[in-house]
Structure formats: C-alpha cells, structure tokens
C-alpha cells in the first residue's frame, strides 16, 4: 500500500491538473447541454472508467509506450479526436430533436458510458501526466509496483469523477433555462455540438508537451 504522503502528494497534483478545464471538462459540459444532466453524469462515470484504464495501462507498461512512442500516442489521440468530432456532428444533426425535458436520460445508457470511456481513455492530457508522474510516487523499494500503481492511481479518476460531476450539474442546470424554448434548446444543442467538434480538433493537434 502506498504511503499516506504519496496519496496526499499525488492527489494534490492530480487535483491541480483536473481543475484546469481540459478535454474531459469541456466534453462533460457539452454533453450536459446537449443531452441533459443525468445523461452527462452517466458519461462522467464512463470517462472516469476510461481514465482508470489509463492507470492500468501505465501499471502494465503500456503507458510508458504511449509516452515514448510518437506513433502510438498519435493513434490513440486521433481516435479520441475523431470520436469527439463524430459526437459533435451527431449533436448538431439532432439539435432539433432535443426534448423539452431538460433532464432526460436516453435509454441506451451503455452508449453514454462508452462515449465517456473513449474520451477518457484517449485524453492525451491525463495519459502523459500518469505515465510521467505516477511511477515517481512509488519509491525505489516498493513491492509489486503494478498493484501499487493501480491503488495509488485510483485517486486521479476519483477526483475527476467528483469534479466533472459538479460541472455536469452546473451545465445541466443552465440547460434547464434553455429547455423552456424549443428554439433556444436547438441553439444550445448546436452550440454543444460545435464545442465538441472544436475540442476534437484541439485534441488532434495536441502534443505531449501541451
């Protein structure tokens, strides 16, 4: 088990990274505006699972490959960027179908989880952070490093889950106002789609140093 100091130090760094709005936060806000608060919260859960999959990848050594290999990093990044753009285009095309109920969860909950998972796992901001920082808090004498990283690394997605959920609640509340008018709701749906497309483009051009 990692020491209390390791949990505290890694948790603080994770918190500082997470509170700076990145792909996950912007994606969460866009989803809350386009599909509602509860649907966004389900997406946040999928996103947290995706980030923890990054932790697992770092624990087994894949994270180091992603951090060192430009080609592998680019492939993962472009998958996430492409998926964001796809979701944005879909949101724009369906903006006129948005319900006036500002808090409806679509029936296909599994699809929302998958959406969040893909964006979370392909987030270049978090994979580079985890690959570079997580191993440094284990110490040179720690036993069973992969298990230790899985335990310590869980701090990151847990903090992200709380933070992104708050963003989903705030954005979902704002959507309630837009939901009073079909025209306003269509506008916010289209805007949310444009944000996701822009985010996808930004992710596509993100380098490891960003």
Residue 47 included in any domain:
yes
Cα separation, 96 vs 190, whole angstroms: 9
| DSSP summary character for residue 105 | P
Cα separation, 94 vs 180, whole angstroms: 18
Query: pTM value?
Result: 0.74
Amino acid 111: pLDDT: 86
Cα separation, 28 vs 84, whole angstroms: 11
pLDDT tens for each residue of 76-114: 778 878 878 887 887 777 666 555 444 444 557 888 899
Domain range spanning residue 185? Answer: 4-11+22-204
Residue 16 included in any domain:
no
Distance set, CA 29 to CA 43, 86, 173, 203, 208 (Å)? 11, 17, 11, 16, 24
Residue 198 included in any domain:
yes
* Residue that has been written with the tokens 């709380």 in this structure: 162
Residue 42 included in any domain:
yes
Closest CA to 196 of 184, 207, 188, 185: 188
The mean pLDDT of 145-169, rounded to a whole number, is: 90
Residue 14 neighbours by CB under 8 Å, 6+ apart: 129, 155, 156, 159, 160
Amino acid 162: pLDDT: 95
The mean pLDDT of 46-75, rounded to a whole number, is: 80
Amino acid 142: pLDDT: 58
Task: Give how many domains the chain has, as a whole number.
Answer: 1
Closest CA to 46 of 123, 98, 104: 123
Residue 178 included in any domain:
yes
Amino acid 104: pLDDT: 47
* SS3 of residue 104 by DSSP: coil
Cβ(105)–Cβ(48) below 8 Å:
no
């Amino acid at each position: 088990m990692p020491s209390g100091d390791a949990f505290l130090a890694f948790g603080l760094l994770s918190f500082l990274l997470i509170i700076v709005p990145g792909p996950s936060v912007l994606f969460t806000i866009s989803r809350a505006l386009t599909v509602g608060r509860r649907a966004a919260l389900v997406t946040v859960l999928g996103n947290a699972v995706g980030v923890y999959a990054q932790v697992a990848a770092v624990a087994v050594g894949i994270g180091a490959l992603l951090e060192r290999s430009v080609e592998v990093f680019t492939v993962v990044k472009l998958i996430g960027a492409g998926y964001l753009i796809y979701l944005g285009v879909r949101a724009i095309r369906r903006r006129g179908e948005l319900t006036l109920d500002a808090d409806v969860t679509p029936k296909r909950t599994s699809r929302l989880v998958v959406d969040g998972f893909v964006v979370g796992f392909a987030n270049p901001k978090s994979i580079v952070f985890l690959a570079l920082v997580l191993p440094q808090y284990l110490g040179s004498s720690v036993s069973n490093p992969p298990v230790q990283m899985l335990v310590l690394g869980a701090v990151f997605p847990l903090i992200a889950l709380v933070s992104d959920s708050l963003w989903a609640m705030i954005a979902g509340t704002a959507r309630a106002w837009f939901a009073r008018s079909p025209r306003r709701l269509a506008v916010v749906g289209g805007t949310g789609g444009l944000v996701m497309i822009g985010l996808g483009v930004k992710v596509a051009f993100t380098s490891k140093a960003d």
